[in-house]
Structure 1
């Protein structure tokens, strides 16, 4: 016997999916606020539909709201889990936050490529030439993306250092520092980039 949640549907949209944007925004906002129970959210949405003069038949049911809230919570949980794992992995990948998403994506790509090659090797005994070629191409693209990301990160740091040096130079000159001191401060800042 199959579970109802595992059965494919025709793709028919739920009543909640069909709500006008204004009502849907209110619903989503109220669901995000933990102070409200689902019944309070449902009552507020029904009241809002009445205030707008919309037809009664668009009002979501309690079970429909419960399914929607459960689905949104599951998606929210997945997003929170991904953020936590991403932050943990990024912490292992490097101590500088700039470009952390790129580094994470590249590391995940390398890991998946390695797993795919290992799985192919275990299943077939021999990795075919096409698999090796595809794997090498994927590795080349990953490394190229890593180099582009590194280059962009350096450019961003240099631009930031240039702006900071210019600002420090202006402040130092206004403060009456000598040209030598101003030059020394500027060199120190630009050495960071």
Structure 2
């Protein structure tokens, strides 16, 4: 079994400081190691090695690169699919899953073997969950837009009330903006 990294044993506040240092392009790994070791020495704790910091930085850079790549791919495909930018990755995953389900159904229909009932059931459940997730996302987006309209109406009518707007005009503005 692999030995636990000394970085993983750091207290949360010191780990956060290390992460901040590693994100700062002006700070080298050697400087980050020295600064963290100085803090650890003040607290009477064992130091971390340069190689442990290097391994940790490399792992974090890999994870960061994968996250950045997934965001870029999502942004590209969401733009092509015409969806709104909110929840890009989730919407992209829904679309990819739809395509995978469609491919699976096509393979099952083209096969000379009859489709296994379990496979059909699993596909049906996956499609149902996928559509439910899409509906939830759509409802959430609608709610967010509604709340934004209500906030805008409140701010506008409050400002206009201060300027002496009539109640009839306020009601008219509310009907236009939020349908009330």
CA deviation map 1:2-24 (0-9, x unaligned): xxxxxxxx243112222333432
| Superposition RMSD in Å | 2.9
The aligned counterpart of 1:74 is: 62
* Map 1:1-193 → 2, pairs under 5 A: 10-54=1-45, 58-94=46-82, 96-117=84-105, 126=113, 127-190=115-178
Distance 1:114 1:46, change over 3 A: same
Please report how far the alpha carbon of residue 180 of structure 1 lies from its aligned counterpart in structure 2 after TM superposition: 4.9
Distance 1:121 1:160, change over 3 A: same
Is the contact made by 1:16 and 1:64 (CA closer than 8 Å) also made in structure 2?
yes
CA deviation map 1:6-49 (0-9, x unaligned): xxxx2431122223334322222211111111211222222222
Q: How many residues align?
A: 179
- Return the structure number with greater relative CO, CA threshold 8 A, min gap 6: 1
Q: Which runs of 5+ in 1 are unaligned?
A: 1-9
Distance 1:125 1:33, change over 3 A: farther
CA deviation map 1:87-119 (0-9, x unaligned): 223323435344545433422332333344456
Secondary structure at the residue paired with 1:53? Answer: coil
Distance 1:152 1:69, change over 3 A: closer
Output the CA distance in 2 between the equivalents of 1:18 and 1:64.
12
Q: Which runs of 5+ in 2 are unaligned?
A: none
Distance 1:157 1:23, change over 3 A: closer
